Structure 1
């Protein structure tokens, strides 16, 4: 065994042990086992080889090699998940196993230390990954799709990702890391951990960054900082953990650009120093507001929580996990309002057309496009608590839990304020076009002021019974009550246009089995039924349907069968899945009628890891699926929008020594099939391939240099069309080629 391979195994063992102290106790014989907490009551934990469901684990080493530009982009490493992360660090679209959706991430829950950071998976202009930033404080991420998800925690039927923080040990350790790039990124990360006093451990860390953006806006369009502290007190019969994560991070919102205009490519953004400052007009009185569109999308708030884990009398185990999220998740952006055209085709021109900043006169052959100057101010808060009691009675293990959540959102929107801008040059707004001078803009405005509160109370229980040494069966039940109070003023005139007082109760269930073939392999099978409860935007967008008796609850039924193998040098999961989602609602833009549909999907996922003592490692994840809209007013028989039939990611790496220095070369090949950009299946988004490449070198102990090249061949792939106007020739490119360089010192 090479020194480098032994070092990697040791690092992996330490990482897993720090994430879950129970693992360290089990590994006295130096065997490395992966413990997963997602999908277990109160995060009690189970060996991955024994888990009767499909779950993906990514430790800090794998996350570093993937070099994701956002939290959502990391989720691409989970089979069965399709991510459109081309909008920037915030505002991704995440799809799971063919579940329907028109954007955002309606079937994704993001958890920190096992607690959901925001119980509503998606609100307009807010999905979970937008309020979470990756840094050196993360030890591991789990991705559980389907499985027991509908029963435990917040009852998410789709994908739950759980991020585990690094934690201290008796040894004082730290890392200082500086990162720069070919697009002007300046970033400093730091993390320090150790022991404050006997059995009291700490971890602190965070980052500061500045950048003009991968798509250069001509000013500092990305800036942020984050600070995290994690404290753990080990008791004689358990432990207490508390943490807080303070974040202030914003970045440009990249929107669909014209696909039919020369010079507009993957490196283009309409945002510039000449148009970031704007005056918008809102409400029935056309009140004015000065805004900075350069603020983009971001998160200014905190995620604070903790857990208590105790072993009580008579071998009862008690776990309580709690979390408070509070802050502002605002959005500012230039949103395309139709297709690009020549200036000569624009109506309402009377006299010369000049630039609002430069004063230059533009001729009729100039490429122009209408952009809405959108502002969304969103103040959110959520508190969750998940407690569970567990005990083993011979061959029967039982858990009884209670989950509570309070969720609120206060929104102020002004969507519209459209005006014609130049494509190219300084991208300024134009004078001499009638609607550009009109305070109402070139299109209607949709302005709202809303407030919403939701309460969830759920009781759940799970039972696992060892039938034989090979066969284990499990059953889970969840009874959930969901209440929503919501009101909205849609004209900003002080009049409530829509008001909702809603409550519903549903029972979810899961039944599964695990059959052990030997110590390293097994089979699992599962069926479940769960629900996605409605939140504030569901009522606003579908108020007519709600008044007509629609419950707005999405009903999800799933089944999966899988094979798993976890050996000394490789592990492999293959999972067949099928699902049906009833009651999905899709609204393309405010004011449009809702499409209520049923969607079905069937597919297979592969998740394979190989590690050889020679230093060669390979990760492969692949998904193949078929989707069909089986019930729709107009689109029955079509495929689900924006989801590929297949996708593949292969990540090889090779570790070696050169002149006494450790080195690693690695890369990722991604390939994705064609997709339809709309439920009508009239817009085809072509598939593409993408190559990433990286290299690390450790010239001396504690020093690590890294070069990461994203999109090596500068592929111009398209992730999505124009979600607000499917027929417009607009789309979002994947990010252009970029190169990052970092130097880190660890001790």
Structure 2
């Protein structure tokens, strides 16, 4: 692993000035969450078959990311130096400021200043920094009434309000040894050009400040009817999602105005302008199911449903706020007798409106949508030969294919068609055998 104490603390230039403005970051903070949550669950039972339930939750916190991302393949120090000399000499502003081209470079360790061997393998990793502040409130209420024997009707509402505020600094590439516990390296050229600052080759290639608010409101109706050996259920849900926010635009600048400080000559900086983002849509989801009890130990069922997945703040920022739709049909069989239990389910699922970004060789990004179809079989067999011992065999067969793929073409990039290609969502065939034993404690 590249991570080391020498790479842990970083001071990164992010705003123009002389000297430029900086922020500090600590790799030890890693990628995690500092979140506070509070909620409640209320259940009330009344006469005449009425019940009421309410669940609410409040969340507030931070989701920081301080992580290293791979960039270039490892190469020798001499090879990296040669490429930096060629790049600097190809820039007229650098050559003019230096008074001439560079012919050699000097590489030293940031910690201690010792010389780096020309044969030392080196690598470049980006120290990415993302700070995300989140807040949310959600509440769901349900009222259920027994209409007649075996039949219960539920009416419910759902409300959620949430915000997110992000600050991103992506890039911040570092030059380091291609070793475990890597050491950062400084490189200077003999015409006065400084390739690095404390090991950093560059600042952010993408700087972002955004602020989003969202609200989801839904109402639903659900009915369950048990009659004889049959159990029927069905439901419908209507939901509205309303998202709004703004995303900063950035510009590439020379932070200190000095062409010889190569490490900050092309830094992305939020330029004070913002792009508004908005999304508002209402969609309906529904489900119908039936279960038939063949014997007290055996039953079969069928279910058909159609649901949606609303876009997130990230989808708005990426320019792909598509509502994904999922259609599902499944039939199954279950049986349990003595120490044996088994179930098998066959399904077919259709996904549409899935957002996808295509990155072309010249940096152009196309935002498009695609879909997929999947059909398969799941099985679950369990045997309890002893009181506390269970032997389980669980697995599935799945065949998923791309569909509804919207082709894109651009400069140097022909249109393409992935429809019918296999979608590697999971192994086509997999099975797991799991013996387990519950140790009695009393």
* TM-score (normalised: structure 1): 0.48
SS in 2 for 1:385: strand
Identify the match of residue 302 of structure 2 among 525, 545, 570.
525
Question: Deviation of residue 619 (structure 1)?
Answer: 2.7
Please tell me whether the aligned partners of residues 142 and 155 of structure 2 are also in contact (alpha carbons under 8 angstroms). yes
Mark the CA change 1:367 to 1:605 in structure 2 (over 3 Å): closer, same or farther. Answer: farther
Task: Give the deviation of 1:649 after TM superposition.
Answer: 2.5
Greater C-alpha radius of gyration: 2
| Partner residue in 2 for 1:412 | 167
Larger RCO (CA under 8 A, 6+ residues apart): 1
Q: Which residue pairs with 1:304 in the alignment?
A: 38
Structure 1 residues 440 and 446, CA gap change in structure 2 (3 angstroms): farther
Partner of 1:398: 153
Q: 1:303 to 1:351 in 2, by over 3 A?
A: same
CA distance in 2, matches of 1:451, 1:566: 53
Instruction: Look up the match of 2:284.
Output: 507
Pair 614,533 (structure 1): closer, same or farther in 2 beyond 3 Å: closer
2:323 aligns with 553
Q: 1:341 to 1:622 in 2, by over 3 A?
A: farther
Per-residue CA deviations over 1:671-696 (Å, capped at 9, x if unaligned) read: xxxxxxxxxxxxxxxxxxxxxxxxxx
**Is 1:446 aligned to 2:202, yes or no?**
no
- From 369, 377, 388, the counterpart of 2:123: 369
- 1:206-221 equivalences in 2 (<5 Å): none
Q: 1:366 to 1:566 in 2, by over 3 A?
A: farther
- The whole-number CA distance in structure 2 between the counterparts of 1:295 and 1:601 is 40
Tell me, yes or no, if the aligned pair for 1:284 and 1:493 is still in contact at 8 Å: no
Residue 404 of structure 1 and its aligned partner are, at CA, apart by 0.7
Q: Which structure's residues are more often strand, by fraction?
A: 2
1:269-348 mapped onto 2 (5 Å cutoff): 269-283=1-15, 287-346=21-80, 347-348=83-84
| 2:338 matches 1:564 | no
Indicate conservation of the 8 Å contact 2:185/2:199, yes or no: no
CA distance in 1 between partners of 2:426 and 2:185 (Å): 38
| C-alpha spacing 1:302/1:572, structure 2 compared with 1 (3 Å) | farther
Deviations 1:467-519 (A, max 9, x none): x4222221110010110011111335463432123211001111111111222
> Which aligned pairs between 1:622-641 and structure 2 lie closer than 5 A?
622-632=395-405, 633=407, 634=416, 635-641=418-424
Counterpart secondary structure, 1:298: coil
Q: Which residue of 1 aligns with 2:176?
A: 421
2:137 maps to 383
Aligned equivalent of 2:96: none
**Separation (CA, whole Å) in 2 of partners of 1:531 and 1:284:** 45
2:240 matched residue in structure 1? 481
The verdict on how the C-alpha distance between 1:535 and 1:314 changes in structure 2, with shifts beyond 3 A counting, is same
SS at match of 2:421: coil
C-alpha spacing 1:536/1:366, structure 2 compared with 1 (3 Å): same
Q: Deviations over 1:160-218 (max 9, x none)?
A: xxxxxxxxxxxxxxxxxxxxxxxxxxxxxxxxxxxxxxxxxxxxxxxxxxxxxxxxxxx
Indicate the SS of the match to 1:436.
coil
The structure-2 alpha-carbon separation of the partners of 1:357 and 1:508, relative to structure 1 and needing over 3 Å to count, comes to same
Over the residues paired in the alignment, what is the CA RMSD in angstroms? 2.6
Kept after mapping to 1: 8 A contact 2:174/2:199: no
Are residues 370 and 513 of structure 1, via their aligned partners in 2, closer, same or farther at CA, if it must alter by over 3 Å? same
Question: Residue 620 of structure 1 aligns to a residue in which SS?
Answer: strand
**Cα offsets for 1:431-484 (capped at 9, x unmatched):** 116643499844761111111111001000111223x42222211100101100
**How many residues end up aligned between the 2 structures?**
383
Distance of 1:530 and 1:284 partners within structure 2: 48
Measured after TM superposition, the shift of residue 522 of structure 1 is 1.1
State whether structure 2 residue 357 is matched by structure 1 residue 587: yes
Distance apart, 1:604 and its partner CA: 1.7
Give the secondary-structure state (helix, strand or coil) at the position aligned to 2:43: strand
SS of corresponding position for 1:540: helix
Local SS of the residue matching 1:274:
helix
TM-score by length of 2: 0.80
Structure 2: how far apart are the matches of 1:283 and 1:608?
Answer: 61
Check the 8 A contact 1:271/1:294 in 2, yes or no: no
**CA contact 1:584–1:597 (8 Å) conserved in 2:** yes
Give the gaps of 5 or more residues in structure 2: 86-103, 189-193, 251-268, 408-415
Correspondence for 2:380 among 597, 607, 612:
607
Quote the Cα distance in structure 2 between the aligned partners of 1:630 and 1:506. 22
2:228 corresponds to 1:455:
no
- Give, in whole Å, the separation in 1 of the partners of 2:334 and 2:30: 43
How big is each residue's C-alpha offset from its partner over 1:589-617, in whole Å with a ceiling of 9 and x where there is no partner?
Answer: 89733242112211222233332325432
- CA distance in 2 between partners of 1:519 and 1:496 (Å): 67
Q: Deviations over 1:20-65 (max 9, x none)?
A: xxxxxxxxxxxxxxxxxxxxxxxxxxxxxxxxxxxxxxxxxxxxxx
